[in-house]
Chain A
């Protein structure tokens, strides 16, 4: 094969201007400006490591710039565990080229061949004690030029920072109560807004008495447009009081009915759908099928349930320019939708990122940004801060989509899999803003005239798919057929939540496999290894198994289970082994994981992400399910939507298989599927019952026992 011409990394090709990524400031600082944003995952630190490493500057002089549409490269959305792949590779290539540009300039100035020069802490020196620096040369070296393909980043051995654990840059501020979060950011003259939302998400506002709200001390304005209504006040307390008064004066006409939460599979399988054949494989010489095993798995709607309610600020200058501060995952994409709703040209809107609480996907961050822009229009040129209530955060944001998954396998006389069929019924897993001709922001559906409600779609398979994510088996079965049925109705609003469909699909696949292995009397780890060809896959399973002492001797009241997947079939490899205690309830005692992300830029950051993913997945499995009756979401508080507590959190051990020679991939979503399956399989090992409806609670255990007896 002939070697292909070098190309620029994805994000650098889209944003080739070098100065949009890196600038040398006069005071010995390097500003690094990625388009990806900090959402609690530590990405900013990993990117700083990469930049400092390639440039040979001290990481302490790297200033990371928050993404803004006013200046940053457009890297779309911070999602899909792609930030290291996109931003990391772009920065590595850009910095490698910039380093060479400066070496050439230093060579000219110092009269020393570039190959004889070295860079240390930003100082460029050579034989005869000649020296200069990035900052001395910055005036004469213009980075207002496009990157060229083929820059040569450092070899693994030359890297001093990437690949080693680094302390997160944001953590000191957070333990010393410095103002990093959008919630804590003060702007001069800041006013406070609140938006009135109905109990039923699709209800229409048919009457609104404003008098009581207007009488609140510190009242500023009521904003009403169709079913969108809100208040602007001088203080947050006044805004709360005015909202309370407004709520009392509101009359609503009920909207669309919600499904029956007690039988999600029946609902999902009865809706009109768009069906897609995801993948097929046919066997040349199929073994004879003796019987067929068929199982259905259900995952409920899952809430993001971020620990902070969503918040945004907006400030108009004149009637046609607005500045928005947001914790959105995609400042440019949000700007697209704001432009559609506000009917403004893109260049009249600046969207700037500020950190929010942990973000696990498309939560109401974007919705509240539009709320703020709409309310701020009534505030003259003063900035307005809008914060959602806990109840609105738990009921009006998009949810992770419920899924019904059916797997059928034809088995031969030895219970070997001859053919595998996997079908998914689910709403789409993506309705992010900024990608279509119609906005997907909540208030856009409430204005008069309303924008049509966007029925969630699925990302293309090339991007990892949506409901079908991780549905194509990683195992070497002789034949398969994978189908995805996306709902064309959407009574419960859904969009991207961590892993999209992968958690549900991996749960189904790995539990089904466990069942087949048990039918054969074969060890589930050995069974998996026997069906895998990829050595990296086998390595994570073996590593987790070894570390967990697989398989521990049976002990009454305890159980062990295994789960494996490669996220998106192309990303991080992860294997999990769960140790649980079970009787009427399940307690997860320990999770042992092994992960391979290729080059781990910040190994402790990878461990932190895997650990966090494992604990969050345990919470999803044991506790979480969005609750609703036929007219409204009822899980509107932490009491109604409990998550895992400190005393319930399992011990988590993570082994990172470092592969510095392989391009890095993200770690944030690798653990959810394997952990989910490992817990369900451990429940069977412990209690002899297969729970196929998540979450695994006392109720679902009893239901599964009744079904199996």
Chain B
């Protein structure tokens, strides 16, 4: 009888422990670069699966957290304007980070709006000489050629954050940097912000 009670107690303790570790695992933020990318890709797929049933603003709100928790948006915004960053006032820098973040999420919301059996597969991981990590993966789309997605991550504090995505060899950061710096130098800061706002507006209407 006593032995039976001990056994029951051990089983209960085991179940409690299992439950506790699972809850802990869910709450635990991703610690490695690969985990950050995995989590982001899963969140992206989950929003895609909801598809057009959910509105643009619902998908936008859901993706905002996913993007903010996996990308270093402040650093990306600094890089895309290059040396021009130093010439901007702190208000302008803040404004740029704000609208750039909105544009990034709006672009994800628009481009990943429906699900047709797509899946992400991890290929490999490599460390760069400048202290970064590159996660090589690919997106499989049924009846279409795979799209190679390479994520460049850097450590920000204790967290790994995406700073660049290279799709089929085309670097998003390099592309944006050339585009943004040329608009800044040619047309000025206000023109750049109004162009970004125009794009955000277009994405929400498409």
On whether the two chains bind one another, the answer is no
